[in-house]
Structure 1
Amino acid sequence: MVSGDEDAVTALAEEFAARGRKTRRLRVSHAFHSLHMDAMLQDFERVTRSVSYTPPKLPLVSNLTGGPATDAQVCDPRYWVEHVRGAVRFGDGVRTLAVRGATRYLESAPTESSAASPRRPWTPSPTSTAPPPRSSRRCAPDGTRSRP
């Protein structure tokens, strides 16, 4: 996943194409998880401080750290501000789950996101099936996807 200046990202995609690699541009409104989010961070932090947080009832893996999310992290407004700007460590998170014995992963999001890609670097041999609705996908460590 690459996020940043449109010209630089386009040039990188062209370089990958020249090497026979496929890329796919996500349909997003902003270059999330990049310096392009810096202008909104103060306002976003004000919003995150106005929200009441409660510890999750189920264990979570953080896309910010790639490891288990602690109650203190997810209840800290600053965590969410850092998440907007920080790199997404989705692959690390999937590996964390795999080490703990998970064999299926459910991605739930309001829109298309990184896990929707049929080729993921964290899978040993990616394959793709007909995609379910973009808001919900199950992914196995071998890269297969199934409907919820």
Structure 2
Amino acid sequence: MKPLTPNRPYLLRAYYDWLMDNQLTPHVVVDAFVEGTQVPQQYVKDGQIVLNIAAGAVGNLQISNEFVEFNARFGGVPQQVMLPMAAIVAIYARENGSGTVFDIEDAYLIDGEVDSSLSVVKTNAKAPEPTDEPPKRRSHLTVVK
């Protein structure tokens, strides 16, 4: 069976449209260290940058299956921003926080990360021993119809 394509670009477009339709301001959280990410580095904090991608804040916004690309001004200086889909961490509304954080998808992992993230750790953990505690009582509340 052919592997499924990542769902992140489809969900990103859907959330973007939904936020814009509800007159909310969409912001994306971006991992600035993902290869191919072009963002103004002076605004990166703790490896991430939050970008307003509302239609009024950016120009020529394009959300493809591989990249989010747009023009924006940072400190009055126009810049082209390029965000690989792997760099998009979340999309949310500035006004109320509605949105989503994206799951990690295998398609966006670098070779070798898949193996290390799926490794099995063998432990000598034992099942908890039963205690001599009395069984819990039933609730004292009753359903009234």
TM-score (norm 2): 0.28
Return the structure number with greater strand share: 2
Return the structure number with greater helix share: 1
TM-score (norm 1): 0.27
Q: Which has the larger radius of gyration?
A: 2
